[in-house]
């Protein structure tokens, strides 16, 4: 299935070799939006080039959005209610003690090569996801399954002891280590998607990473779309799947994802009808778009945290007094007001304040005087003897502005010199993953339960880039919180865990996210929500709608 779209592109220097639509010399012909509306092709800004399309390798939002088009989990998310609804599983039962989930595979659910999806595919896939050799940084998300952590850490080597069983080819039984009311929500994450075993093994061993199975000519998925083309640093194109079980509900014929790291380029592409929707919006454009009649600007609370992760294993930030001093010397209110144009919420913890029934622990406050005292106690009075510190951040104008502001705040309030290091996305990801940094910009998008943020800091956790480790924290989150029957008790333990975390300050919270983007009036079925979830199965395009003249 092939679709046309505008290929009037050129190379823009300084955008990580990204080839995007020229805004100057390509005025002839129809735009992506006009063609897309007619042919049912959605054009989306997607932040960065994904590091891959293997659900057990990638951890970033840009890859997750594409994987959500190419795969479907046992359950999927309704983008309006955020409630789980049938995906590969047409129905499921939960035991009265909340420990056993029995999923019935939809007989119409097949792989993109036409083969049926089986319960055994899930057993094989989750073994791969949890296998120590796979190196899956999201493996911990499956630790709620009985003995999953023991297998992942090498304590046991028989996967038959893990609580995942194929009772029949169409019946999957999952036994949890403790009641986990949000288990269905976790199954919406790409780390739990089933993979086609024969496709993986055709291109390597079960646990191999970055093999050729993710190339378009080899790819086998089970989502509403199939992978058609991957032009590195230009776009990833997917087309409507002819084998998807619920294809009659899929309105779009395809989606083109563009890795655009420069917010200003993305905004200009939107204005000239080359994108239906942006990933974000340049901060200095918010005032103008906010007051525009019939504005395409959209904003909503977003379950994400923007913070600086601090390397707890390298001097001088291996000293908790230094970490606390740095945190107390940041004026978050000023950053939110001036740099972010009041579009975010200042943060004093890692869990955003949008999760129902969860109250974060009492926050600390901006306190330069106490910050200076702590730095002096650590041996650096007024910055004397300071060994230097570097902030690492990935390419983004907003990240740069925030880094400069914090650099100046630490100079003014603590008397310390800070250097800045800007890195292209893939280099930055590797730098942080290898803990080859001192302080690094970080963001995390969680879900509607606090542990989706707190689990980042479990000892030796796959996404714990700070080096933080506290057995008391692990016990509160896993043993006590994980075994609690009631939500009130579970959340109380999680609140205690967050209090411990913020007392150790392995991160410096900056703000809680909000979604801010531009959306063309022709787009329907993509509502904003606190998880910024997009279920492209419901997206559609309405021809004839245009942007207001004031945007040109």
pLDDT at residue 298, as a whole number: 96
pLDDT in tens, 380-401: 999 999 999 999 999 988 999 9
Confidence of residue 10 (pLDDT cuts 50, 70, 90): very low
8 pLDDT exceeds 80?
Answer: no
Q: Are 9 and 23 in contact (CB under 8 A)?
A: no
Query: Once rounded to an integer, what is the mean pLDDT over residues 176-186?
Result: 91
Query: Once rounded to an integer, what is the mean pLDDT over residues 18-38?
Result: 68
By C-alpha distance, which of 121, 137, 255 is closest to 189? 137
Tokens representing 371 are: 């910050």
- CB proximity list for 466: less than 8 A, separation 6 or greater: 309, 310, 311, 312, 457, 506, 507
Residue located via tokens 């291996």: 318
- CB proximity list for 26: less than 8 A, separation 6 or greater: 6, 8
Confidence of residue 501 (pLDDT cuts 50, 70, 90): very high
5 pLDDT exceeds 70?
Answer: no
Query: Once rounded to an integer, what is the mean pLDDT over residues 476-486?
Result: 82
Quote the CA–CA distance of 377 and 532 in Å, as a whole number: 43
pLDDT at residue 377, as a whole number: 98
Tokens representing 216 are: 């378009």
Confidence of residue 185 (pLDDT cuts 50, 70, 90): very high
pLDDT at residue 1, as a whole number: 37
DSSP per position, 297-312: EEEEEEEEEEEEEE-T
Collapsing DSSP states into helix, strand and coil, what is residue 213?
helix
pLDDT at residue 179, as a whole number: 87
pLDDT in tens, 400-437: 999 999 999 999 999 999 999 999 988 999 999 999 99
CATH of range 301-514; options 3.40.50.450, 3.10.105.10, 2.60.40.10, 1.10.3720.10: 3.10.105.10
Query: Once rounded to an integer, what is the mean pLDDT over residues 28-32?
Result: 85
pLDDT in tens, 72-105: 999 999 999 999 999 999 999 999 999 999 999 9
Confidence of residue 362 (pLDDT cuts 50, 70, 90): confident
Confidence of residue 487 (pLDDT cuts 50, 70, 90): confident
Secondary structure of 92-138 in the HEC alphabet? EEECCCCCEEEEEECCCCECCCCCECCHHHHHHHHHHHHCHHHCCCC
178 against 117, higher pLDDT: 117
pLDDT at residue 201, as a whole number: 98
- CB proximity list for 363: less than 8 A, separation 6 or greater: 348, 349
By C-alpha distance, which of 260, 309, 259 is closest to 282? 260
366 pLDDT exceeds 50?
Answer: yes
User: What end-to-end distance do the CA atoms of the chain give, in Å?
Assistant: 34
pLDDT at residue 28, as a whole number: 54
Confidence of residue 478 (pLDDT cuts 50, 70, 90): confident
9 pLDDT exceeds 80?
Answer: no
Tokens representing 376 are: 């002096």
Considering the domain 67-209 in this protein, what is its CATH number? 3.90.76.10
What does DSSP assign to residue 362?
P
163 pLDDT exceeds 70?
Answer: yes
pLDDT at residue 21, as a whole number: 43
Average per-residue pLDDT in the chain? 92
25 pLDDT exceeds 80?
Answer: no
Query: Once rounded to an integer, what is the mean pLDDT over residues 356-363?
Result: 88
pLDDT in tens, 272-320: 999 999 999 998 999 999 999 999 999 999 999 999 999 999 999 999 9
* Candidate ranges 21-35, 58-72, 353-367; pick with highest mean pLDDT: 58-72
Chain centroid to CA 305: 11
Give percent above pLDDT 70 in the chain: 95
Chain centroid to CA 449: 15
Backbone angles phi, psi at 167, to 5 degrees: -70, -40
Q: What share of the chain is helix, strand, coil (3-state, %, to 5)?
A: 30, 20, 45
Render the burial of 125-145: b for 16+ CB within 10 Å, e for the rest. bbbbbbbeebebbbbbbbbbb
Domain extent listing, the chain: 1-47+224-296+519-552, 67-209, 301-514
Describe the strand order of the beta sheet including 89-94 as a list of residue ranges. 89-94, 100-105, 171-175, 164-168
Helix (H) or strand (E) holding 263: helix 263-271
197 against 463, higher pLDDT: 197
Collapsing DSSP states into helix, strand and coil, what is residue 326?
helix
**Strand 41-45 versus strand 254-258 pairing type:** parallel
What does DSSP assign to residue 224?
S
Quote the CA–CA distance of 315 and 317 in Å, as a whole number: 5
- CB proximity list for 524: less than 8 A, separation 6 or greater: 539, 540, 541, 542
pLDDT at residue 22, as a whole number: 40
Residues recorded for the chain: 552
7 pLDDT exceeds 70?
Answer: no
CATH class of this structure's domain 1-47+224-296+519-552: alpha beta
**Segments of 111-209 assigned E as strands:** 164-168, 171-175
pLDDT in tens, 192-231: 999 999 999 999 999 999 999 999 999 999 999 999 999 9
DSSP per position, 365-416: ---HHHHHHHHHHTT-GGGTT---EEEEEES-HHHHHHHHHHHHHHHHHH--
Number of H helices, E strands in the chain: 17, 20
Give percent above pLDDT 90 in the chain: 84
By C-alpha distance, which of 196, 275, 197, 199 is closest to 235? 275
Quote the CA–CA distance of 158 and 150 in Å, as a whole number: 10
pLDDT at residue 26, as a whole number: 44
Q: Write the CA distances from 430 to 2, 26, 58, 177, 289, integer angstroms.
A: 35, 36, 12, 33, 36
């Amino acid at each position: 299935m092939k679709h046309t779209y505008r290929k009037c592109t050129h190379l823009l220097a300084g955008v990580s070799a990204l080839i995007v639509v020229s805004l100057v010399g390509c005025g002839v012909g129809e735009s992506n939006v006009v063609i897309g509306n007619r042919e049912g092709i959605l054009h989306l800004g997607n932040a960065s080039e994904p590091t891959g399309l293997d659900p057990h390798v990638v951890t970033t939002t840009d890859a997750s959005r594409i994987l959500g088009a190419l795969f479907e989990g046992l359950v999927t998310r309704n983008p309006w209610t955020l409630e789980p609804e049938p995906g590969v599983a047409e129905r499921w039962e939960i035991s009265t003690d909340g420990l056993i989930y029995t999923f019935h595979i939809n007989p119409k659910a097949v792989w993109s090569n036409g083969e049926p999806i089986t319960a055994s595919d899930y057993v094989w896939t989750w073994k791969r996801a949890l296998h120590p050799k796979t190196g899956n940084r999201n493996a911990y998300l499956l630790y709620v399954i009985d003995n999953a952590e023991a297998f992942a850490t090498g304590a046991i080597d028989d996967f038959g002891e893990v609580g995942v069983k194929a009772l029949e080819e169409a019946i999957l039984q999952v036994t949890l280590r403790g009641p986990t009311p949000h288990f269905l929500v976790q199954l919406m994450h790409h780390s739990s998607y089933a993979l086609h075993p024969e496709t993986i093994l055709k291109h390597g061993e079960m646990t191999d990473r970055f093999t050729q199975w993710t190339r378009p000519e080899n790819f086998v998925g089970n989502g509403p779309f199939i992978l058609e083309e991957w032009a590195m640093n230009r776009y990833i194109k997917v087309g409507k799947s002819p084998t998807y079980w619920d294809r009659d509900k899929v309105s779009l014929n395809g989606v083109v994802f563009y890795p655009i790291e420069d917010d200003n380029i993305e905004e200009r592409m939107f204005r000239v009808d080359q994108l239906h929707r942006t990933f974000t919006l340049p901060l200095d454009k918010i005032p103008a778009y906010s007051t525009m009649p019939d504005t395409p600007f959209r904003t909503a609370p977003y379950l994400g945290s923007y913070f600086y992760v601090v390397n707890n294993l390298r001097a001088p930030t291996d000293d908790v007094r230094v970490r606390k001093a740095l945190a107390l010397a940041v004026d978050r209110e000023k950053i939110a007001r001036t740099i972010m144009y009041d579009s975010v919420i200042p943060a004093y913890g890692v869990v955003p304040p949008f999760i129902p029934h969860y109250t974060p622990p009492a926050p600390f406050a901006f306190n330069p005087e106490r910050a200076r005292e702590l730095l002096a106690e650590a041996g650096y009075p007024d910055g004397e003897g300071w060994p230097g510190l570097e902030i690492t951040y990935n390419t983004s104008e907003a990240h740069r502005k925030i880094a400069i502001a914090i650099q100046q705040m630490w100079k003014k309030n603590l008397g310390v010199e800070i250097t800045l290091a800007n890195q292209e996305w893939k280099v930055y990801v590797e730098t942080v993953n290898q803990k080859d940094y001192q302080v690094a910009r970080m963001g995390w998008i969680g879900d509607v339960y606090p542990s989706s943020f707190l689990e980042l800091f479990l000892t030796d956790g796959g996404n714990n880039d700070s080096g933080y480790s506290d057995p008391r924290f692990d016990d509160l989150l896993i043993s006590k919180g994980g075994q609690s029957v009631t939500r009130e008790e579970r959340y109380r333990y999680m609140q205690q865990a967050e209090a411990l975390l913020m007392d150790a300050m392995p991160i410096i919270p900056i703000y809680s996210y909000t979604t801010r983007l531009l959306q063309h009036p022709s787009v329907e079925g993509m509502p904003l929500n606190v998880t910024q979830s997009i279920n492209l199965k419901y997206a559609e395009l309405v021809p004839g709608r245009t942007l207001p003249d004031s945007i040109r």
